[in-house]
Every structure is written in C-alpha cells, then in structure tokens.
Amino acid sequence: MSAFKEHPLRDVLANELHTRAADEITAPAQISQFAVLTGEDNNRAIEHLAELCARMGASAPTTGANHFTTDLGGLVVRFERHTEFCSYAFVRRGRTGDMPFERPPLTAVPDDWLATLPGEVLAGVHIVLEAQDEPEHSPEELSLRHFSGNVLIAAAVGGGAAKAYSDLRLDADRFIRFLVRDVNLLPSHAGRTVQRLIEMNTYRALALLALPQAREASPVLREIDLALADIAQRMADPTNLEKDADLLRELSSLTARVEAIATTNSYRFAASRAYYQLVVRRLEDLRQGRLGERLTFSAFMDRRLTPAMTTCKSVADRTEALSTRGSRVVSLLRTRVEVDLQAQNQRLLESMDHRARLQLRLQQAVEGLSVVAIGYYMVGLVGYLAKGLKGAGVLEVSDTVVTGLAVPVVLLVVYLGLKRAKKAMGLEEGE
C-alpha cells in the first residue's frame, strides 16, 4: 500500500471505465431490453429490481448501485441506471426455434412486476441472435416471418461478422425487433454488437423527446418574431404617437415569453443533441456494409432522425436569436426612454430655477417692504421718545424735527441690520 494520500473518488473514477462493458454472448440467444424514463430521482428502480430478485431467488443489488447483473435461473438480467432513465436487459441463451420472437425473454418476467415499474417505458427491443448453423432465410422471407411484411432495414455489421435486420417499427407487444445472424462473431464481439443496437435504439428515442417540444414552440416563436418586428417598426416610425412606456411594457411581455420557452426547452434540447451524438457514434461503431439494395441503419437514421434533430436545433437557434434580438430592442427602447427622462428632468430643473429666481425677486420686494414697515415702527418709537423728552424740558428742539431727522437714520440702520442677518444665514443673493 502506497503511503501517499488518495483522492476519495479514485476508485469510483477508475471503475467508471468498466461499468458499461458488454457481456459476452454466444449465439444462439434472445435479448429483451427496455428503457424506463424515471427522471433524475430513480432510487425507486433499485428497490423495485430487488423485489424481482427476491421473488426469483437471486442476489439483490446494493442500495445506490448504478449497474447490476445477476442470473435469475437461466435468465440473466442486466440493469443500468442513467441520469434520467434506467435500462433493463434480459438475456436467455440457447436455441431460438423457428419463431423466436413469439416467446421473448420478457415473457419469463412476472407481469405484475412489469406493471409496477417506476417510470414510463420509452424504448424497448427484442433481439434474436441466430447461430451460423440455423437455417438462413432471405430478407423477403424474414420480413414475412418476423416483421409483418414490413420493409426491412438491413446491414452487414461488425465488418461483415454478422447480419442485422429490423423494420424499426413497434410490433404487437410494443417492442422493436432486431434479428442478428451470426456469420463470424466472437462472443465478446456479439455482446458489443447487441449492446450497440440496444443503445442506438434507446438514444434514438431519447433524442426524439425534444421533437414534440420543438413543434409546439415553433408557431409560438413565429408569432413572437412577427410581434417583435412590428414593435421595432413602430419604434422607428416618427409619426407614431404611442408612448415609449407602452411599447416597453409590450416588449417586456414578448421577451418574457421567449425566456419562458428557452427555460422550458433548454435542458431537453441540450440532452437531445447529446443523445443524437451517441446515436451517430453507435452507428459508426457497428461498421455497417450494405446488404443488397436495402437501406442500412445509418442511411435510415440519416433520412429520418437527422431532419428531426435539425428541426430541434433550428428551434433552439431561433429561440436564442429571438432572445438576443428582444434584448437589443429592449435596450434600445430603454435608452430612448432614459433620454426622454433626461430631457424631462432638464425641463424640470429649468422650471425650478425660474421659480427660484421669481421667489428671490419676491423676497427682495418683501424685504423692501419689511425695511419700510420696521422703520415705520422704529420712527414711531423715536417720535414717542422725542415727545417725552420735549415734555420733560430736556429737548429744546421740536419733537417733529427729531422724528423727521430720525427717518433716514432708522431706515439705514434697519436695512444694514437685515443685510447683516441675511449674510449670517447665507442668504445673500448669488450664494
């Protein structure tokens, strides 16, 4: 044991490389697989699988396990837990018979257990792996025997080590059928081929989950696009008398709708792109070759799946473009509103300045009257004082003369006194 300190996730990260290794399968064999959409809270799936193992006398998975494989008495079950779905595969080895799809491995699983699966089944396949020594039929006969006469998609896979056939349609029990004929398959190669077909179908279904949302969002985006263009045109029209506040309110409502669509669909669209890349990779890993004039799985997916993914990408791009355009128009309108507000504020300041000047003039007029009024009362006091002094014989001149001479002096004193008081309070004109 090394003395250095290890990261707590070292074992988890190392084991992750081996968690999805394909089981070795020897032809002949039958496989039933289905994917259950559970969402990210899929702990109930482990408990449900443990119930099946207990009923069939097998060891149960540990709590929190992401991968689990066990033998249920001739029926091998392989469980995988992913981010938003769980995958169940049931493998039965041995001769498949003339009509191998009539009794797939899933018929050995209790119906009541299947009925209580946590989540909803999104994709499922029945795969028959035929041995080399079993009778080989022509594609036309295979179509009639196993695929209800439907047009087959076929390819030589694994560089010619096997032949794979399917109509990629749901059969009567709601599963897609694949017939794989062993030409020169090693057990490990057979396991990888089966796993790639399963993952191609599962990821194909998961990728297409975004298509209904894209179709639902497309006409709404078109409506918002037209409304946004109309608002931009009304903004540019100099004869338009609508208030900017009304336009901004309408524009904010549109941008909110765009953001709601983006928020609702962003996860699904991103997941769809990732799943589509996995489908493309699994198709490449199959190393397909043509069988006659029939479409290969890659050609079929390119014709049917790629346009759907292009639609989803187009809607995602339109949503992002509308969000960007809406933000630009909102920014432009807000700038215009701010300019108008600044002009209004400027006019308000000018009006306040004008009122302040009028108030100052009124104040100056009132101050003049105040000097006169205060001077009048003070002159009256001087007159009373002069009369008293005259009556006491102290003052020899007339009290009227004293009062008259006191008028300019009193007015000057009052004026200087008020001016000094104003200066002390910082009310001098210009300050």
What is the per-residue pLDDT across 78-98, written as a single tens digit (0 to 9) for each? 999 998 999 999 999 987 678
Q: Which two tokens stand for residue 300?
A: 């079929």
Please tell me the predicted confidence (pLDDT) of residue 278.
Answer: 96
Residue 268: pLDDT over 50: yes
Residue 365: pLDDT over 70: no
**What stretches of 286-398 show up as alpha helix (H) in DSSP?**
297-391
15-33 mean pLDDT: 82
Residue 65, phi-psi category: left (phi > 0), alpha (psi -120 to 50), beta (remainder): beta
Sign of CA dihedral 71, 72, 74, 79: negative
Rounded distance between C-alpha atoms, residue 311 and residue 381, angstroms: 101
32-58 mean pLDDT: 91
Rounded distance between C-alpha atoms, residue 354 and residue 361, angstroms: 11
Please tell me the predicted confidence (pLDDT) of residue 325.
Answer: 87
DSSP run (H or E) holding 35: strand 29-37
Q: What is the mean pLDDT of the chain?
A: 86
Between 18-32, 139-153, 324-338, 382-396, the lowest mean confidence (pLDDT) is in 382-396
204-209 mean pLDDT: 96
Percent of the chain with pLDDT over 70: 90
Outline where DSSP puts E strands in 176-252: 176-182
Please provide residue 68's backbone torsions phi and psi, each rounded to the nearest 5 degrees: -155, 135
Please tell me the predicted confidence (pLDDT) of residue 36.
Answer: 96
Residue 427: pLDDT over 70: no
Please tell me the predicted confidence (pLDDT) of residue 87.
Answer: 95
Please tell me the predicted confidence (pLDDT) of residue 146.
Answer: 93
Cβ-contact 176, 147 below 8 angstroms:
no
167-188 mean pLDDT: 94
Please tell me the predicted confidence (pLDDT) of residue 333.
Answer: 73
Residue 21 pLDDT level (bands cut at 50, 70, 90)? low
The residue ranking higher by pLDDT, 399 or 252, is 252
Residue 6: pLDDT over 80: yes
Between 137-146, 162-171, 291-300, 393-402, the lowest mean confidence (pLDDT) is in 393-402
Percent of the chain with pLDDT over 90: 52
How would DSSP label each residue in 57-81?
A: T-PPPPTT-SEEEEESSS-EEEEEE
Would you tell me how many other CB atoms lie within 10 Å of the CB of residue 386? 22
Residue 1: pLDDT over 60: no
Residue 236 pLDDT level (bands cut at 50, 70, 90)? confident
Rounded distance between C-alpha atoms, residue 317 and residue 322, angstroms: 9
Which of the residue ranges 39-48, 51-60, 271-280 has the most confident prediction, judged by mean pLDDT? 271-280
Please tell me the predicted confidence (pLDDT) of residue 312.
Answer: 95
Residue 431 pLDDT level (bands cut at 50, 70, 90)? very low
Which pTM value belongs to this model?
0.77
Rounded distance between C-alpha atoms, residue 130 and residue 182, angstroms: 6
Cβ-contact 221, 319 below 8 angstroms:
yes
Rounded distance between C-alpha atoms, residue 46 and residue 79, angstroms: 9
Rounded distance between C-alpha atoms, residue 125 and residue 202, angstroms: 9
DSSP SS3 for 2: coil
